[in-house]
Amino acid sequence: MRIKDVELRIIQLPLVRPFRTSFGTQLERELLLMKITTHEGSQGWAECVAMSEPLYSPEYTMGAQDVMVRFLLPKIFAYDDVRAEEVADILKPFLGHQMSKAAVETAILDAQLKLEGISFGSYLGSSKSEIDCGVSVGIASSIEALVAEVGLYIYEGYRRIKLKIEPGWDIEPVRIIREIWPDIPLQVDANQAYSRDDTELLKKLDQFNLLLIEQPLDEHDLLGHVLLAKEVRTPICLDESITSLESARDALAMKATTVINIKPGRVGGYLESVRIHDLCVENNIPVWCGGMLETGIGRAANIALASLPGFTLPGDTSASSRYFRRDITPPFIMNDGQLDVPTGPGIGVEIDHDFIEEITTSRKVISAP
């Protein structure tokens, strides 16, 4: 497949409500979109999930655009014929930048599958036509606001609730939610907000019958997670620590985790995500697909990934209305707590070009030599 040109757009999409985590509050989602056009007449779309500032990861929107323009795309352009399966090896000389690499691979894969008439789900190994939906609930302004928000999501039919926590907002909000809804599948996500010194505090979460505690410690502190796992009864799930197949293999070997959250952007793409999924299936480790406030482009691909057989826990692949009043694709609408897996070629969604034009703040077109 010969690439003709690549369009990079930065868009700003307002959120329906502020989304606060331990590393900051988002009022809108700034995203880098990529559109690849091939000489064969196919177009492939992807989004880079890096945020506007390097708070959640070292990557950020403008930096991702820079590394794509200066390094990743010229390397891809050097090949007269390229397939998605080759992208990771082609870009391997450039260290890090997993989110940027994931976007390049995904856009190429979308264009490739459209030419072949194959859906994302079929290509990745889908085993379901629908997936169960969970929802991520940010740190609220008050307990009352948290209860109201969780109640809304339960009324809408979400099958799992995830609460963001941080020091000072942990035991009490979790206790209240568990008292009101004793049977709802419930988990918490710390986004690295705690340290080894907080072990006794984190042990108090055991009383709430949680599915898991997600990434309680720093992403580089695998040993700390090993030690914590020996002290708490609640399963430890790793997210930020999982950046590749090798990191997942190491975490399992060290017994730092018994559940893994696979985020395609963090691990360099959907093909690496499938490899991590396969590793976990071999080791009887449950996995789920985390969210990064994706638009319908990333949501469609995530839903396809979450339909693989090893994804046995509801992920963060919520309905479009959870985050956006208007999306850049037709909205994903939840039915009885589930979303349909797209079946069209590639990611399987139509792009709202007019709306993208409205919310674009910058645009670059890079033509292959």
Residues of the chain with pLDDT under 50: none
Residue range 131-152, pLDDT digits in tens: 999 999 999 999 999 999 999 9
Q: How far is CA 89 from the centre of its chain?
A: 22
Boundaries of every domain in the chain: 3-117+353-367, 122-340
3-state class (DSSP) for residue 243: coil
Catalytic pick among 4, 204, 263, 364: 263
In sequence order, the 6+-apart residues with CB closer than 8 A to the CB of 341 are 121, 126, 128, 129, 130, 131, 303, 304, 307
pLDDT at residue 195 in the model: 97
Write down the pLDDT at residue 46: 98
Residue tagged 């069209």 (tokens)? 344
Model pLDDT, residue 22: 77
Q: Give the residues across from 364 on adjacent strands.
A: 8
Task: Tell me whether residue 164 is one of the annotated catalytic residues.
Answer: yes
Question: What pLDDT score does 25 carry?
Answer: 83
Q: Return d(Cα 287, Cα 275) in angstroms, integer.
A: 12
Residue 364 is a catalytic residue: no
pLDDT in tens, 195-237: 999 999 999 999 999 999 999 999 999 999 999 999 999 999 9
Residues contacting 55, CB < 8 A, separation 6+: 23, 24
What is the pLDDT at residue 172? Answer: 97
Per-residue model confidence as pLDDT tens digits over 84-117 = 999 999 999 999 999 999 999 999 999 999 999 9
CATH architecture of 3-117+353-367: 2-Layer Sandwich (3.30)
Domain 122-340 maps to which CATH number in 1.10.287.70, 3.90.1010.10, 3.20.20.120, 3.30.1330.10?
3.20.20.120
Round to whole Å and give the CA distance between 332 and 335: 10
Catalytic entry in 92, 101, 164, 204: 164
Q: What is the pTM of this model?
A: 0.95
pLDDT of 269: 98
Structure tokens at 59: 């990557």
